C-alpha cells in the first residue's frame, strides 16, 4: 500500500476475518452507521490527501504505540506495517522500536505520551500535553494526535469485544444459569433522583471544562468549522471542549458521527444500560467530567440513582441486579485489561438473558468511552461547581 492509498475493505472486518454471512459480521453491520463512521474516521485520519507525509508518520507512530500497548496483535501489526511502508519514516520507526539512536527527542516525547494514554490515561496531565507543543507540534496537530490516540483506544476495544462475541457464539454449551441474585439492599440516606451526589470525587452535578491548549477564536471560525459546531452540540460555541476540537473540524465531525451512532441508535441495548457502561468506564478511567454527564443521563432514563451511588462508592461491586453487575464488570474488564477480554468476560451478560444485540451495544458503549475519556482527561480539566 502506498502512503496515500485508501484501504479497499473495512479494516476491522479485514483484521478479524469477518465476511458477509458470518454471524458476527451480521451483528456488527446491523449497526451500519457505526461501521461506516468508524471506517470513515480511519481513512480520514491516516489516508486523507490533505495531510502531509510528516503528519501521517506522526499519526501512524502514535497509533502503533497505542495498539502495541492495548492489542490485539493484528491491529498492532497493521499500524507497524503501515509505518514501515512510509517514506522518510526512519526516525519514527526507531522511536517505535525504542532505538537509542535514529529517533528524535520530539518523537520520543510523543511515544511516551502515547504509552501513558494507552496504559494510565489519568496520569497524562497538562505538563505531558504541553510537552508536545514545546516539542514543535502545532495546536491543531496535537488535537489531531489526541483524536487518533483516542480512536485507536476505541478501535482496539471494538475488535476485542467483537472477537469475544465471536468466541462466545462458537461455544456449543448453553450459558450457565446465573446464581440466585441476592436481594438488593437500598443505600441508606439515598438522595432523591435529581439531587446532587458527591462521593469520592465523583458527582452527578453539571461540570465545566477548561482546555489546556488555546481554543479556536470564535471570530475567525471558518464556514466549515461553524457548520461542524452547529451539528456537534447546541452550546458548542460556549464550550472549551468543542472550541478546541474544532481546530481539526473534519476529525471532530466524523468522531461525533461514531459517538452518536453508538449511544443513540434505537433498538438493541437499552439506552440506560449503554449509559451505565459509559459511566462505569469513566469512573475506572478517572474521568470526572464524563462520569457526571452519563450519570445524569442514566438517571434521566432510568428514573433512579441507586446504582450511581454504588458506582461512585466502589465501581467494582456496583450493580443493583445481577444484570447490572454483569454490565459494569464487562465494561471494567474491557477498559482495564483488553488483552484478557474473552468469551468468559461476556458470558455473564448472556447468562442474564442479554441478546447478542444487547451485548454488542454495551460493549460498543464501553469502547467509545476509551476515546471520549482520553479527549476529556488529556486535553483539559473539569471544573467543579460550588457546593449548593
Say if residue 354 is in the same domain as residue 227: yes
Q: Does 146 fall in a domain?
A: no
State the Cα–Cα distance between residues 243 and 211, nearest whole angstrom. Answer: 9
Q: Does 388 fall in a domain?
A: no
| CATH (domain of 277) | 1.20.1290.10
Q: Does 155 fall in a domain?
A: no
Alpha-helical runs (H) found in the chain: 11-16, 23-29, 32-47, 53-70, 73-84, 90-97, 105-119, 126-134, 139-170, 223-232, 240-245, 249-263, 271-285, 288-302, 306-314, 322-336, 343-351, 356-378
Task: Report which DSSP code applies to 137.
Answer: -
Asked if residues 315 and 203 have their Cβ atoms less than 8 Å apart, the reply is no
The cell for 184 is: 438488593
Say if residue 281 is in the same domain as residue 345: yes
Say if residue 132 is in the same domain as residue 212: no
Q: Does 147 fall in a domain?
A: no
Say if residue 248 is in the same domain as residue 181: yes
State the residue range of the domain holding 330: 167-383
Backbone angles phi, psi at 67, to 5 degrees: -65, -40
The predicted pLDDT at position 6 comes to 46
The predicted pLDDT at position 1 comes to 36
Q: Does 124 fall in a domain?
A: yes
Say if residue 107 is in the same domain as residue 180: no
Q: Does 243 fall in a domain?
A: yes
Give pTM, 2 decimals. Answer: 0.94
| CATH (domain of 66) | 1.20.1290
Q: Does 151 fall in a domain?
A: no
Count of beta carbons in the 10 Å neighbourhood of residue 102: 13
Domain count, the chain: 2
Say if residue 284 is in the same domain as residue 353: yes
Say if residue 177 is in the same domain as residue 309: yes
The predicted pLDDT at position 101 comes to 86
Say if residue 344 is in the same domain as residue 276: yes
Helix (H, G, I), strand (E, B) or coil at 316: helix
The series of mean pLDDT values per 10 residues for the chain, 388 residues long, is: 54 97 97 98 97 98 98 98 96 93 94 95 94 96 98 98 96 61 61 88 96 97 96 93 98 97 97 98 98 97 96 97 97 97 97 96 98 98 84
Q: Does 112 fall in a domain?
A: yes
Count of beta carbons in the 10 Å neighbourhood of residue 185: 7
Say if residue 118 is in the same domain as residue 219: no
The predicted pLDDT at position 59 comes to 98
Task: Report which DSSP code applies to 45.
Answer: H
Say if residue 124 is in the same domain as residue 177: no
The owner of cell 487518533 is 148
Say if residue 371 is in the same domain as residue 233: yes
Say if residue 132 is in the same domain as residue 202: no
Amino acid at each position: 500500500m502506498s502512503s496515500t492509498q485508501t484501504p479497499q475493505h473495512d479494516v476491522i472486518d479485514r483484521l478479524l476475518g469477518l465476511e458477509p454471512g458470518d454471524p458476527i459480521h451480521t451483528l456488527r453491520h446491523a449497526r451500519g452507521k457505526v461501521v461506516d463512521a468508524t471506517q470513515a474516521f480511519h481513512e480520514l485520519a491516516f489516508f486523507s490527501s490533505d495531510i502531509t507525509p510528516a503528519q501521517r508518520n506522526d499519526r501512524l507512530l502514535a497509533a502503533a504505540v497505542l495498539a502495541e500497548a492495548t492489542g490485539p496483535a493484528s491491529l498492532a501489526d497493521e499500524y507497524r506495517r503501515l509505518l514501515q511502508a512510509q517514506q522518510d519514516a526512519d526516525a519514527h520507526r526507531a522511536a517505535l522500536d525504542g532505538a537509542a539512536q535514529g529517533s528524535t527527542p520530539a518523537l520520543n516525547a510523543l511515544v511516551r505520551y502515547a504509552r501513558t494514554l494507552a496504559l494510565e490515561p489519568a496520569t497524562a496531565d497538562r505538563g505531558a500535553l504541553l510537552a508536545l507543543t514545546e516539542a514543535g507540534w502545532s495546536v491543531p496537530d496535537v488535537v489531531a494526535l489526541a483524536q487518533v490516540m483516542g480512536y485507536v483506544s476505541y478501535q482496539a476495544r471494538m475488535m476485542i469485544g467483537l472477537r469475544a462475541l465471536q468466541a462466545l457464539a462458537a461455544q456449543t454449551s448453553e450459558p450457565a444459569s446465573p446464581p440466585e441474585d441476592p436481594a438488593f439492599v437500598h443505600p441508606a440516606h439515598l438522595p432523591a433522583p435529581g439531587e446532587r451526589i458527591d462521593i469520592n470525587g465523583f458527582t452527578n452535578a453539571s461540570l465545566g471544562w477548561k482546555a489546556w491548549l488555546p481554543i479556536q477564536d470564535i471570530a475567525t471560525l471558518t464556514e466549515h468549522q461553524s457548520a461542524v459546531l452547529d451539528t456537534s452540540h447546541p452550546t458548542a460555541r460556549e464550550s472549551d471542549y468543542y472550541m478546541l476540537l474544532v481546530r481539526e473540524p473534519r476529525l471532530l465531525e466524523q468522531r461525533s458521527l461514531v459517538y452518536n451512532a453508538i449511544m443513540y441508535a434505537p433498538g438493541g441495548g437499552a439506552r440506560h444500560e449503554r449509559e451505565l457502561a459509559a459511566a462505569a468506564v469513566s469512573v475506572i478511567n478517572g474521568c470526572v467530567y464524563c462520569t457526571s454527564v452519563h450519570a445524569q443521563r442514566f438517571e434521566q432514563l432510568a428514573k433512579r440513582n441507586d446504582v450511581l451511588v454504588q458506582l461512585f462508592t466502589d465501581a467494582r461491586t456496583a450493580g443493583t441486579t445481577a444484570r447490572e453487575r454483569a454490565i459494569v464488570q464487562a465494561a471494567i474488564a474491557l477498559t482495564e485489561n483488553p488483552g484478557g477480554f474473552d468469551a468468559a468476560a461476556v458470558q455473564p451478560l448472556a447468562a442474564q438473558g442479554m441478546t447478542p444485540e444487547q451485548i454488542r451495544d454495551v460493549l460498543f458503549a464501553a469502547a467509545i468511552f476509551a476515546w471520549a475519556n482520553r479527549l476529556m482527561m488529556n486535553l483539559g480539566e473539569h471544573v467543579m461547581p460550588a457546593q449548593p
